[in-house]
Amino acid sequence: MTDAHLNLIDGNWLPGDHLTENRNPSDLSDLIGHYAAATVEDVDRAARAAQAALPAWQARGPLARADLLDRIARRIDAEAESIGHMLAREEGKILSEAIAEVRRAAQIFRFYGGEALRIAGDAIASVRPGVDIEVTREPLGVVGLITPWNFPAAIPAWKVAPALAFGNAVLLKPADLVPGTAHLLARIIHEQGCPAGIFNLLMGPGSVVGRALVDHPLVSAISFTGSVATGRAIARGAAEGMKKLQLEMGGKNPMVVLDDADLEIAVAACLNGAFFSTGQRCTASSRLIVQAGIHDAFVTRLAEAMQALRVGPALDPSSQIGPVVSPAQLRGNLDYVALAAAEGCEVVGGSLADGPTEGFFQRPALFLKARNTMRVASEEIFGPCAAVIRVEDFDEALAVANDSDYGLSAGICTGSLRHARAFRHRVRAGMVMVNLPTAGVDFHVPFGGTRGSSHGSREQGRQAVEFYTTVKTSYSFGG
């Protein structure tokens, strides 16, 4: 097959055992390419190559790693339009968002290039005379990175960049729905001089390739983003192998709108947070918790703005909402729309939308008159759907916001400093937004949540060093 895109193992492009088709969810007649699925033996070959390459890589020191990450960042920036085109084509994110995501990936590599030079330790006085103590950070070794389909550039970047910055070797398994963007990033990382074996791309199904990463004895840590069910399965496997583990999973993120909110700001924040990127963000505002006094005006304005959103192909510059990523995800979304009506909600939108091409187009949906106990208000849908829950006051809003199995992002729209402050302190979430959408985070600060949303130490920002290094305590006696 002439257009086969291969796995990168020990610096060589290798074919795996079969090819999978990558198709455009905006236009099913558009075959993007064929991508090689790695085998369990490929994972083993990559893990051994990674382990063998580590000593030379670590001996090169932080400046070489910083320079490499900086070159990668510059190349990603230079190719942002074409990589963004691939991302929009395979994932369905509209082109402007896709290019912005690729630029964010470049910023992440640049940021961790700087962090490579800032790895710090501690010198601590010993309780014993004549003894010195140093606490230093060391790489983990070979790390397995398993990424989802909804951020095909940014999430691989925010795992790969700190892993390399802090001296590890990487086995990256991207989601099977979006191998194209990962393949372009892998080519850049390889061409910019990452040593053979230090960065390996292993495409293919999670049930085979992802699982083999988790099971491999040379892999010392796993960082995963995806569903709770897969996260739990990985946690069991990682515990068996005593691996360090970081899981970023779902959300059912509350956005509270109080009576004293600026209506324009609240509608804009909820429109963005709930529906942009087709709602396929773990930080999406999927529960809109609205105080009684502003409820009707807010719902009217938000429904108008939602219905005016143009749903269409990701590469059409007039589209504001791209397609759903896959038929399985679309079926799930439509089932939740039907469930919302069955649970007693008044449903606005949510039906299939016509497009100029055959794709997975769905109108965004509001589930009005929802209660927090309904399944549509408590289960992650991961589509362009938001439940609206009416509450009487701030205390009820906070209680509803906190009544969830998840705790990733939480927002409040209010003009009251007192309520904003109380919410920031009392909401149970890893990220809090005041008068901002719950989704759309900065690239240089920690990302993650509490309860069912996250497990292990934080991703992104300076805190990523916690996961990608281990601590060594050295005692020395000078006599």
Binding site for ligand NDP (CB under 6 A): 146-150, 173, 175-177, 205-207, 210-211, 214, 225-227, 230, 233-234, 248-250, 282, 329, 380, 382
Q: What is the DSSP string of 326-372?
A: -HHHHHHHHHHHHHHHHTTPEEEE-SB---SSSS--B--EEEEEE-T
Stretch that binds ligand AKG, among 137-145, 418-426, 437-445, 460-468 (CB under 6 A): 437-445
Contacts of 123 (CB under 8 A, 6+ apart): 132, 133, 134, 135
- Which CB, 68 or 410, lies closer to ligand NDP? 410
Could you tell me the smallest distance in angstroms from the CB atom of residue 26 to ligand NDP?
18
The tokens describing 380, both together, are 């992650």
Partner whose footprint covers residue 146, from ligand AKG, ligand NDP, none (CB < 5 to 8 Å by kind): ligand NDP
Q: Is 453 in the site for ligand AKG (CB under 6 A)?
A: no
Tokens 């993120």, residue? 253
Catalytic residue among 91, 97, 101, 248: 248
Partner whose footprint covers residue 75, from ligand AKG, ligand NDP, none (CB < 5 to 8 Å by kind): none
| Cα separations in angstroms, 188 against 93, 157, 160 | 22, 12, 13
CB atoms inside a 10 Å sphere around CB 458: 19
CA pair distance 147, 466, nearest whole angstrom: 19
Could you tell me the smallest distance in angstroms from the CB atom of residue 1 to ligand AKG?
32
Could you tell me the smallest distance in angstroms from the CB atom of residue 131 to ligand NDP?
45
Residue 102: what are its φ and ψ, rounded to 5°?
-65, -40
Site string for ligand AKG, 126-165 (x = CB under 6 A): ------------------------xx--------------
- Which CB, 175 or 289, lies closer to ligand NDP? 175
Could you tell me the smallest distance in angstroms from the CB atom of residue 261 to ligand AKG?
21
- Residue 138 appears among annotated catalytic residues: no
Helix or strand (DSSP H, E) at 107: helix 95-116
Stretch that binds ligand AKG, among 12-20, 108-116, 229-237, 277-285 (CB under 6 A): 277-285
> Restricting to residues 197-226, which ones interact with ligand AKG according to CB under 6 A?
225
Please tell me the count of residues contacting ligand AKG according to CB under 6 A.
9
Q: Is 194 in the site for ligand AKG (CB under 6 A)?
A: no
The tokens describing 437, both together, are 């959408």
Residue 198: what are its φ and ψ, rounded to 5°?
-80, -30
User: Taking a C-beta distance cutoff of 8 angstroms, is the pair 173, 205 a contact?
Assistant: no
Partner whose footprint covers residue 254, from ligand AKG, ligand NDP, none (CB < 5 to 8 Å by kind): none
Q: Is 440 in the site for ligand AKG (CB under 6 A)?
A: yes
Partner whose footprint covers residue 207, from ligand AKG, ligand NDP, none (CB < 5 to 8 Å by kind): ligand NDP
Q: What does the radius of gyration of the chain's CA atoms come to, in whole angstroms?
A: 23
Q: Is 283 in the site for ligand AKG (CB under 6 A)?
A: yes
Partner whose footprint covers residue 233, from ligand NDP, ligand AKG, none (CB < 5 to 8 Å by kind): ligand NDP
What is the three-class DSSP state of 205? Answer: coil
Could you tell me the smallest distance in angstroms from the CB atom of residue 457 to ligand AKG?
16
Tokens 């896709």, residue? 98
Could you tell me the smallest distance in angstroms from the CB atom of residue 381 to ligand AKG?
13
Q: What angle do the packed helices 154-165 and 95-116 form, to 10 degrees? A: 10
- Which CB, 282 or 400, lies closer to ligand AKG? 282
Partner whose footprint covers residue 283, from ligand NDP, ligand AKG, none (CB < 5 to 8 Å by kind): ligand AKG
Closest CA to 78 of 46, 106, 51, 111: 106
Stretch that binds ligand AKG, among 80-88, 133-141, 281-289, 417-425 (CB under 6 A): 281-289
Contacts of 342 (CB under 8 A, 6+ apart): none
CA pair distance 125, 123, nearest whole angstrom: 7
Residue 67: what are its φ and ψ, rounded to 5°?
-65, -40
Reported in sequence order, the residue ranges of 95-148 that DSSP labels E, i.e. its strands, are: 122-125, 131-139, 142-146
Could you tell me the smallest distance in angstroms from the CB atom of residue 151 to ligand NDP?
7
Partner whose footprint covers residue 440, from ligand AKG, ligand NDP, none (CB < 5 to 8 Å by kind): ligand AKG
Residues serving a catalytic function are 248
Where on the chain is the footprint of ligand AKG (CB under 6 A)? 150-151, 225, 281-283, 439-441
